[in-house]
Amino acid sequence: MSIELDDVENIAHLARLDLTGKEKEEAASSISNILNLIDQMQSVNTDDVTPLAHAFDAVQRLREDKVTETNQRDELQKIAPETDQGLFLVPRVIE
Amino acid sequence: MIELGLAPLSRALAKGEFSSVELTQAYLQKIAQENSDLNAYVTVCEELALSQARAADEARSQGNAGPLTGIPIAHKDLFCTKGIRTACGSKMLDNFIAPYDATVVENFIKAGTVTLGKTNMDEFAMGSSNETSFYGPVKNPWNRNLVPGGSSGGSAAAVAARLCAGATATDTGGSIRQPASFTGITGLKPTYGRVSRWGMVAFASSLDQAGTMTQSAEDAAMMLNVMAGLDLKDSTSSDSAAEDYTKDLDKPLAGLKIGIPTQHFSEGLNADVEKCIRDAIAEFEKLGATVKEVSLDNSHLSVSAYYVIAPAEASANLSRYDGVRYGYRCKNPVNLEDMYKRTRSEGFGTEVKRRIMVGTYALSAGYYDAYYIKAQKIRRLIKNDFQKAFEEVDVIMGPTSPHTAFAIGSKNDDPVTMYLEDIYTIAVNLAGLPGMSIPAGLVNGLPVGLQIVGKDFAEAQLLNVAHKFQQATDWHTKSPVK
pLDDT tens-digit series, residues A15-33:
999 999 999 999 999 999 9
Domain that holds residue A22: 5-43
On whether residue A29 sits in a domain, the answer given is yes
Residue B148: the pLDDT is: 98
The answer on pLDDT for A2 being more than 90 is no
| Interface A:B, Cβ pairs < 8 A | 166
Sheet containing strand B435-443, strands side by side: B41-44, B114-119, B72-76, B167-171, B209-214, B186-189, B435-443, B446-453, B395-399, B257-261, B290-294
* A20-23 long-range Cβ contacts below 8 angstroms, 24+ apart: A23/B350, A23/B353
Residue B482: the pLDDT is: 66
Please tell me what DSSP assigns to residue B1.
-
Residue B267: the pLDDT is: 78
Residue A82: the pLDDT is: 96
Segments in chain B below pLDDT 70 = 482
What is the number of structural domains in chain A? 1
- Do B360 and A11 touch, CB atoms closer than 8 A? yes
On whether residue A20 sits in a domain, the answer given is yes
Sign of the C-alpha dihedral computed for residues B356, B358, B359 and B360 taken in this order: positive
Mutating which of B336, B361, B367, B371 best tests the A interface, going by the most A Cβ atoms within 10 A?
B361
The answer on pLDDT for A57 being more than 80 is no
Q: Catalytic residue, from B128, B152, B175, B479: name it.
A: B175
Residue B266: the pLDDT is: 86
Residue B481: the pLDDT is: 85
Residue B80: the pLDDT is: 98
The structure's pTM equals 0.97
Residue B157: the pLDDT is: 98
Residue A60: the pLDDT is: 82
Q: Is B315 a catalytic residue?
A: no
On whether residue A60 sits in a domain, the answer given is no
Chain A residues in contact with B96 by the CB 8 A cut-off are 79
Any idea what the CATH number is for the domain that residue A14 is in? Answer: 1.10.20
User: Cβ of B344 under 8 Å from any chain A Cβ?
Assistant: yes
A27 and B360 within 8 Å at the Cβ level: the answer is no
Q: Where are the alpha helices (DSSP H) in B164-318?
A: 177-183, 217-227, 271-286, 302-317
User: Cβ of B349 under 8 Å from any chain A Cβ?
Assistant: no
Band of residue A94 on the pLDDT scale cut at 50, 70, 90: confident
The answer on pLDDT for A61 being more than 90 is no
pLDDT, mean over chain A: 93
- The domain spans of chain B are 300-377
Q: Is B151 a catalytic residue?
A: yes
* Phi, psi dihedral angles at B460 (to 5 degrees): -60, -40
